[in-house]
Chains A and B, each alone.
Chain A
């Protein structure tokens, strides 16, 4: 009897401690999330307020699939993921392995690769826009110097705008991926490398047969966070191309913004945001399943 009383007291104190955070979560996250779900079934226009809201059922979802802007955005987003994530994972794993060993100026190099991750997206976008300028940009000047007559016009080309944005995405994400991989590398038992060395394995073999498999859980983690991050690509696209030329570089997050804030169709924008959430959720579930199977094979 006394036991339960005591328990209740402890719970009360615990609630008080998590209270502030909980209230913050409810007010700033839970209520808006639930509200956005409700809104996604209406034609809510933020300026008209709640009184002007009409329930439209699944019309927003139906409209999405006949909306060329949305379908292009989804297509571009998938291309963006296919183009950036494998490169990110491979390059960051190799660079992390190199930086983890004894290299000259190790700390400086670490700082340099991490810098883009903490820099302002706006500043990065403006600098890359200058680099990508078709006639005066340093990238094309260099290509012309190497003898290329007609270098791509990058952001102003329907073919090259998306790859150009991918490159910026990769460059921005490298730092974070490398740091996470370096943390993962710390957990690998040195003894494995030593015994491999005694067996006569060279650096490449050790990387292939020890580093890569031992880092698999880190890789899965990074895959998930990178895919989620790619689906949320917004800043660079918004500043550098605004989804253009034509619809060549429209991505989902940017189109949600345009629909919500430029066309004032908040209900439609919320519905797209929820479709995006379901997308990401499914992909994450699929990856978890894969990971479980992969780990069971070990």
Chain B
């Protein structure tokens, strides 16, 4: 009897274990019917289709309004917005979620290096269809000019125009009696940074922060050369021996002179991607900016400050050298190639790119939609008390610079690795572990090796 009981119990245990496995199996959306039947767009259907969209902008800064507006007018397709933090960790989280088969129909990619990785991994649906081409021609400014293509395919559509530049503490400028010259050079930028370096209430104020993108120097080179500036024209060799990269490297002299925030502090306070907390805390007088950063300037609750922010274009290498590449098409909307609701996702994608884009103004996102009104966008981006916070004229000058051209990357061989090499070597240089010559030659040598490896 005992034996029978024990055998029964064991059978029960095995049974329950297997049932557990089965349950998991059922919940995995990747095993769902993928034939399109599951994704009916039949309005009589009681169950609306549910789409999940992942983006880097906090829901309350605009995306939630956009989604709510869509959901109200499209009862048959209900969208849920999930925010991920757009840094290495956040992007890894997104990749892993897609990988594990979690339902994500649309998501945002915020850089060509990431887009390249995701295309190589087959995560992105190729959007090179007649339907999309016609849509872009009809609705998107530039009609497709300047859109990044990876290996000849269009895998993502940029949703915003993103000019960038320098934002400055106007109070400090006025106090020092400085006006920013038009078409300023790196030399002038450095002089002004030194003049703006002071002590305030026993606290050191640095003239500038010169670190961007997780550890690179301000990229003067890109503003001069435009897209593909990491590569020689042939595309099979890196370009780090170009004169313009010396201008990037020159900025480190500001750190040495104590006029730019030292790298140690930038690194340990994680100001290497976004330096706005230091800028709004009056610890630095100028830093690079993009329109989306202005949402922090408007956020007086978390970043209380009483100075006006003014704007300037990026400096150039030397007088007379054009540096018009100061805008990106960015915030690429992508479709998961494994989405079970591609048709519905496409409809929502089009909405985000057109009608829905106005909800994103307050997050600092200038739409690529042909019918978007720049005045309305500027109003929403600068907020209600624009005059108290911003030098509105200077903002318009930078944002609507008629000479501005888009940075378009077309060569993407080993791009993620090149970025990593440039970042690491820059860190070593900032921390005085390498000399200027070593820095430039190491970067060039290692980048060339990575390109060779990828082309093998």
Chain A contact residues, CB within 8 Å of chain B: 13, 16-17, 19-20, 23-24, 27, 45-49, 52, 63, 68, 129, 132-135, 137, 153-158, 242, 244-247, 261-264
Contacts and interface: CB of A to CB of B under 8 A. Distances in A.
A-B CB proximity, top 6 nearest:
A47-B121, A153-B264, A156-B264, A16-B10, A156-B267, A245-B427
Given A48-B121, A263-B417, 15 more contacts: A13-B6, A17-B6, A20-B17, A45-B120, A46-B121, A47-B122, A47-B123, A63-B453, A133-B268, A154-B268, A244-B424, A245-B267, A246-B424, A246-B425, A264-B95
A20 B10 CA distance: 8
A172 B85 CA distance: 29
Contacts of B401: none
A27 to B, nearest CB: 8
Nearest to A132: B268
A154 B7 CA distance: 60
Contacts of B120: 45, 264
B433 A246 contact: yes
Given A16-B7, A19-B14, A135 B427 contact: no
18 contacts: A16-B6, A16-B14, A17-B10, A20-B17, A45-B122, A47-B99, A63-B453, A133-B268, A133-B269, A135-B265, A153-B268, A155-B267, A158-B431, A245-B215, A245-B427, A246-B427, A262-B88, A263-B416
Nearest to B17: A20
Interface string B81-117: 0000000100010011011000000000000000001
Contact of B17 (A24, A68, A158, A263): A24
B92 A261 contact: yes
Given A13-B7, A19-B10, A23-B14, A156 B268 contact: yes
Interface of B: 3, 6-7, 10-11, 13-14, 17, 21, 88, 92, 95-96, 98-99, 117-118, 120-123, 215, 263-269, 416-417, 424-425, 427-428, 431, 433, 446, 453
B265 A156 contact: yes
Nearest to B269: A133
B98 A23 contact: no
B98 A47 contact: yes
Contacts of A52: 122
Contact of B424 (A48, A133, A247, A261): A247
B122 A48 contact: yes
A20 B12 CA distance: 10
A255 to B, nearest CB: 12
Contacts of A263: 117, 416-417
A135 B431 CA distance: 16
A220 B43 CA distance: 70
Given A47-B98, A261-B96, A20 B428 contact: no
Contacts of B117: 262-264
Contacts of B7: 13, 16
A266 B14 CA distance: 33
Contact of B264 (A47, A157, A261): A157
A214 B428 CA distance: 48
Contacts of B431: 156-158, 245-246
Nearest to B121: A47
Contact of B433 (A132, A135, A158): A158
